[in-house]
Structure 1
Amino acid sequence: MTQSLIVIPARAGSSRLPRKPLRLIAGRTLLHRTIAMARAATANLPNARLLVATDDDEIAAHARAAGCDAAMTDSAIATGSGRALAAARLSASPPRFIVNLQGDSPFQPEATLAAVIAALEQGAQVATPVIALDWPALDALRDHKTRSPFSGTTCARAPDGRALWFSKNIIPAIRNEEALRQSQPLSPVWRHIGLYGYTLEALTRFESTPPTALETLEGLEQLRLLELGIPITTVPVPPPVFDSSGIDTEADIARVEALIATHGDPTP
């Protein structure tokens, strides 16, 4: 029985980077790199199945050539979560948990995926990873947002790990920041990583509800869950050694290839 279904949504259409899953990054496709990372991350997870969900025959064939199952889903599905649910519904037996593993972030640490699944097994309805930013990392995020204000998401969380809010702004605001910098190495800001694990029930309810007003304003679909009263458990994970955000443009490819040239290729 499949306990956890890890779905890599791989849509062909992308206005900024056409046929993005098949684009080469230092000689390997983006999809190949994501599959390799996910396979390594799930190697020791019992009852976990890895699947690419796509709307394109060539992408499906490429996934299968890389040794990963592929499911054909409707091209009208606009979101990765919707494509993940559609793939789950095509499974012979419904999985208990569904993980939406974004196909444009192939360099996430392997332990992140296992940590999200562990949170689901311990009772979370929805789980997603966050990283505590030290002060230099917070300064870098602030600088980045002067150029790309809607790139990078932060999270305010309760002491028990429940997400209180997500925003494209940097939250929380910090009073007496200089004194705080002197007293502790970590800032109070958590950066969100766009990987989500759901129970089948939570994802079904989410997908059956239209986008909410605050979700639309921020451009963050996880806010719909909070507005519906579905709790999100945040899972702290260490900062990745090989850090890169989502790959959406030619400039992103060039940046990642420069990281590979400097630090070596992390894809097994």
Structure 2
Amino acid sequence: MVVIPARAGSSRLPRKPLRPIAGRTLLHRTIAMARGSLRDLPDIDLVVATDDREIADHAQAAGCEAVMTQSAIATGSGRALAAALARPSPPRFVVSLQGDSPFQPEGALSAVISALLDGAQVATPVIALDWDALDSLRDHKMRSPFSGTTCVRAADGRALWFSKTIIPAIRDEAALRQTEPLSPVWRHVGLYGYAIDALKRFEQTAPTPLETLEGLEQLRLLESGIPVMTVPVPPPLFDSSGIDTEQDIVRVEALIAIHGDPTPCLP
């Protein structure tokens, strides 16, 4: 089951799912991207989980099922779990596809589903940044410091940490640039897949101090000892960070004007 949490409230970008980007709303773009990714996986349900009737109607106008969930639910994963538990039979796994990240790398959703089918408790995609992409991320964070998340990971793919800052710090970077085509920085993509029991355990755990400081709910998993498997995916047509601010909308619209629109058309 794939769930798109679409909350009405957002302190930085009010009524974010309904905001237009180059003529198409954020929610319709996310639905179209998910539907395209699931084209070869017809047995997996796609649902929007929201606390707002207008957002639910907007999802249904795009031909997507919508489930009303309680406004008190504070996280996307919590809203995804509520939608899953509302089914007649709980699914084996739940993928929470953040409604503010419509420009996912090709294959990211199917890669996460594959990792879950292979036994991962939690899976999420990451992108290896080349040096130009790292420079672009640094420049972007000068204007929007809490937009975009990086990850450090073990050799076997387990996530060691996520942060809104750029990690790891790079000693002797100039020399490394001369010998390595890729930087050591991985960028996290806002897409999470959970085995249903791992998601239940996560939601039964109180928010942790570092989760609260960074504003990243996936840190609760790591602080609670729940392993997170990262899945490398190729970079998308352009920057895949979430839409969190007015500046993000301006930046993405400029990229669409340059590169074309990567979002599939809704049927």
TM, length-normalised to structure 1: 0.94
Q: Does 1:197 align with 2:230?
A: no
Deviation at 1:46, TM superposition (A): 4.3
1:36 aligned onto 2:32: yes
How far apart are 1:259 and its partner, in Å?
Answer: 1.9
Asked if the contact 1:38–1:110 (Cα under 8 Å) also holds between the matched residues in 2, the reply is no
AA in 1 matched with 2:230: T
Deviations 1:130-172 (A, max 9, x none): 1111112122222333333333221111111011111222222
Q: Say which is worse superposed, 31-40 or 215-224, in terms of deviation.
A: 215-224
Alpha-carbon spacing, 1:15–1:257, altered in 2? closer, same or farther (3 Å) = same
Q: Which position in structure 2 is the counterpart of 1:144? A: 140
Q: 1:34 to 1:57 in 2, by over 3 A?
A: same
Task: Tell me the residue number matched to 1:178.
Answer: 174
Q: Verify the 8 A CA contact 1:153 1:167 in the aligned structure 2.
A: yes
Partner of 1:63: 59
Residue type of the partner of 2:213?
L
| 2:94 maps to which of 87, 98, 109 | 98
- Bigger CA drift: 19-28 or 185-194? 19-28
Partner of 2:228: 232
Q: Which moved more, 1:199-208 or 1:147-156?
A: 147-156
Give yes or no for the alignment of 1:166 onto 2:185: no
Letter in structure 1 aligned against 2:28? H
CA distance in 1, matches of 2:56, 2:145: 34
What is the CA–CA distance in structure 2 between the aligned matches of 1:98 and 1:170, rounded to whole Å? 28
In the alignment, which residue of structure 1 is the partner of 2:129? 133
1:143 to 1:262, Cα distance in 2 relative to 1, 3 A: closer
CA contact (8 A) 1:244 1:256 kept: no
Identity percentage of aligned residues: 79
Structure 1 gaps of 5+ residues are none
Residues 8-46 of structure 1, C-alpha deviations (whole Å, 9 max, x = no match): 011112223222212222222211111111000001014
Partner of 1:53: 49
The answer on whether the counterparts of 2:148 and 2:242 sit within 8 Å (CA) in structure 1 is no
How big is the alpha-carbon RMSD for the aligned residues of Structure 1 and Structure 2? 1.4
2:239 matched residue in structure 1: 243
Trace 1:105-124 onto structure 2 (pairs within 5 A): 105-124=101-120
* Moved >6 Å (runs of 4+): none
Q: Shift of the alpha carbon at 1:89?
A: 0.7
Mean Cα displacement is larger for which, 46-55 or 8-17? 8-17
Name the structure 1 match of 2:74.
78
Classify 1:26/1:174 alpha carbon distance in 2 versus 1 (closer, same or farther; 3 Å): closer
Q: Any conservation in 1 of the 2:105–2:240 contact (CA below 8 Å)?
A: no
Structure 2's unaligned 5+ residue stretches are none
Bigger shift: 86-95 or 212-221? 212-221
Aligned-partner Cα distance in 2 for 1:249–1:155: 22
Cα gap change, 1:46 to 1:122, in 2 (>3 Å): farther
Q: Is the 8 A contact 1:37 1:110 kept in 2?
A: no
Q: What's 1:208 paired with?
A: 204
Normalised TM-score (structure 2):
0.94
Cα separation, partners in 2 of 1:121 and 1:55, compared to 1, 3 Å = same
Residue by residue, what CA displacement relative to the aligned partner does 1:171-227 show, whole Å, maximum 9, x if unpaired?
A: 222222222211110111111111100000011000101111121222211111111
Paired residues, what number? Answer: 264
| Distance across 2 between alignment mates of 1:260 and 1:234 | 28
